[in-house]
Structure 1
Amino acid sequence: MFDHVKFGVTDYAVSKAFFLKALEPIGVAIVGEGPPEYGVELSPPNKPSLCLFQTGEKPAHLHLAFTADNRQQVDAFYRAALEAGGKDHGAPGLRPNYHANYYAAFVIGPDGHNIEVVCHQPEA
């Protein structure tokens, strides 16, 4: 559905480093970058992208959910996101209130956004 999602961050360098490290386990890398006011585009190969740019505005908090291919990627995201400075908002685990195989982890990023990585597949 989406080609890309772009939103402002209050500290471009901190947010860029956070998202690169936290989302590396699901194959996210820089695919394009300009000056901080234009921003950076992050994406796994041939997938929709996340774009960040420097702003002084305080946007409302977002909930961003990224797809993982397997539960190990969810676990790796959680560890990487905490190492990158994220705050725990839900350790990796099943969320059966969504559906039987909803395996996800949640962290709060540098601007207070709720960042999730989810796998919808049963355990291998």
Structure 2
Amino acid sequence: MFDHVSIGVRDIDRSRIFYDAALTPLGYGRLTSGATMLGYGDEQVSLWVTQAEHPVRPDLRSGLHFCFKAFSEEAVEAFHAAAIAYGGEDNGAPGLRPEYATFYYAAFVIDPDGYRLEAFFHKPDL
């Protein structure tokens, strides 16, 4: 349904450091960058991060979050560890989330601007 999503941030350099570290374990990289914008994805940009004069204030109670696909449990764990190490805040350690679906393995963080992020891997039924 979506081609891409854009978010506004206060400090593009801080966001570059955070998103470069957090998205690499998931197989996503910075595909484009400029003085005020960054583009992340695998083959095409799917997440635009732009410096904004008045970024939307994230509200942790709004329900808004962005979920990234992961290719393994280890990738989810590496995403979580990198995000925390590079300025993110823990919002749910890596693990199974049977309340969401059978074999739903995910981790949750909050980026430096307050956006809620998730990495998800659908663990195969063994």
Determine the structure 2 residue equivalent to 1:51.
Answer: 48
Q: Is the 8 A contact 1:71 1:123 kept in 2?
A: no
Q: How does 1:47-86 map to 2 (within 5 A)?
A: 49-61=46-58, 62-86=64-88
Q: Distance in 2 between matches of 1:120 and 1:67?
A: 9
Q: Runs of 4 or more off by more than 6 Å in structure 1?
A: none
- The gaps in structure 2 that reach 5 residues or longer are 59-63
SS where residue 52 of structure 1 aligns? strand
Per the TM alignment, residue 60 of structure 1 is displaced from its structure 2 partner at its CA by 3.6
Cα offset, 1:32, TM superposition: 1.4
**Where does the alignment leave 5 or more consecutive residues of structure 1 unmatched?**
none
Partner of 1:25: 25
Q: Deviations over 1:17-54 (max 9, x none)?
A: 10110111011111112231xx111112x255111111
Change in 2 beyond 3 A, CA 1:55/1:40: same
What SS does the corresponding residue of 1:75 show, helix, strand or coil? helix
Percent identity at matched positions? 42
Give the TM-score normalised by structure 2.
Answer: 0.88
Listed one character per residue, the Cα deviations across residues 62-108 of structure 1 (whole Å, up to 9, x for unaligned) are 41100001111001111111111111100000111110111000011
1:102: which partner in 2? Answer: 104
* In 2, Cα distance between equivalents of 1:48 and 1:102: 26
Distance change (3 Å), C-alpha of 1:48 and 1:123: farther
Does the residue aligned with 2:35 lie in a helix, a strand or coil? Answer: coil
State the 1:123 CA deviation: 7.2
CA RMSD of aligned residues (A): 1.6
Which residue of structure 1 lines up, in the alignment, with residue 113 of structure 2? Answer: 111
Q: What is the rounded CA distance, in whole Å, between the counterparts of 1:60 and 1:43 in structure 2?
A: 24
Give 1:16's aligned amino acid: R
> Could you tell which deviates more after superposition, 106-115 or 48-57?
48-57
